Every structure is written in C-alpha cells, then in structure tokens.
Amino acid sequence: MTAASAAGPSARVERAWAVLADVPDPEVPAISVVDLGIVRAVHEAGDTLEVVLTPTYSGCPATEVIEASVLAALDGAGLGPARASLRRAPAWTTDWITPEGRAKLRAYGIAPPGPVDPEAGVPVRLLRRAPAIACPRCDSPRTERLSAFGATACKALYRCLACREPFEHFKPI
C-alpha cells in the first residue's frame, strides 16, 4: 500500500471521476456513465489512469462507444495517458444506478427501475405480473405495458392510462 492509496484517491483520480460524471450514456444521454454505474473504478497504474468499466450487459453494442467517450473525455481534460478495461463480473445491475441517475431517468421520461429482488432467481420476469410502474410524467400508477422490449432490450414500453403518454421503463436487472 502506497502513501497515496492510504490517504485516499489522488487529485488526478478525483478529477477523473468529475470528468466522467459528465460523459453521457450513448443510449440514454440524460444520464452519465458514472450515474448509470458503468464506471466501476478509477485508479492510477504508474503514470497511466485506468478506468474499469462494466457494460450493462455483455452484448451491449454501446460498449466501444462508451470506452472511446471515456478515454476522449479524460484526454480532453489533460488527464492522460489513460486506458479502459472491461470487468464483466460481477455483472452490472440496475442497483448500481445512483439516486441522482434515477432522478435524471425520471426527468428524461424513463421510469427508473426498482430494486432487484435477490430472492427472484431471475432478474427479468416476463410471465409473473409485474408491480405497477408509475408514470414518470404524472406519477400515476395506472399504467399498462405495451411491449416487454423498448428501444433496447433493457427497457420495456408502457403507456400511462391517466395522462395517455407513452414512456419506457428501465427494467431491474
């Protein structure tokens, strides 16, 4: 253990976290990759800044875009050299979305996920009746699912029966 690690993160690592908090997710640009919980760790490895990323799922097509955006942001802030590494285990879960990220999803018109049920055994339940999903626009629980899948596999398409607006729900996984 070095003196810097015993004292906490370096100023460079803290600045990197602040820069990454402004890197938007390419599929939901209202939320950053930090608020989404994709950025797992930032640390110094010699003179190189290493960013550990966990994609939302192993086949996520945005993984390369996220990695490039993260490295470009760090380079643009003068924090390089930097590299990104992917860590797929443990698998990403919607429980990693920050409270600020959940608020940003709701403001963007996407109903944020509830907590993952550790007793469920499977994260996405397609046959069992799901609990009511509140409309992110009017907060009414009177909603109906139109499709199990939205613009991406991690979201479902809903409609509010009160305000009649469609919206997506980020599934808890």
Domain that holds residue 34: 3-92
Q: Mark whether 71 and 13 lie in a shared domain.
A: yes
User: Is residue 68 domain-shared with residue 115, that is, in the same domain?
Assistant: no
**In 3D, which of 84, 70, 81 has the Cα closest to residue 46?**
81
Helix, strand, coil % over all residues of the chain, rounded to 5: 25, 20, 55
List the structure tokens of 29: 């640009």
Closest CA to 39 of 20, 11, 24, 18: 20
pLDDT digits (tens, 9 = 90+) for 86-114: 998 998 999 999 999 999 999 999 999 88
One domain for residues 73 and 112: no
Tell me the torsion sign for CA atoms 116, 120, 124, 126.
negative
DSSP 8-class letter at 95 = G
Judgement on whether residues 152 and 72 belong to the same structural domain of the protein: no
- Can you give the CATH number for the domain in which 58 is found? 3.30.300.130
Residue 8 lies in a domain: yes
Q: What is the mean pLDDT of the chain?
A: 87
Give the global pTM: 0.76
How many folded domains does the chain comprise? 2
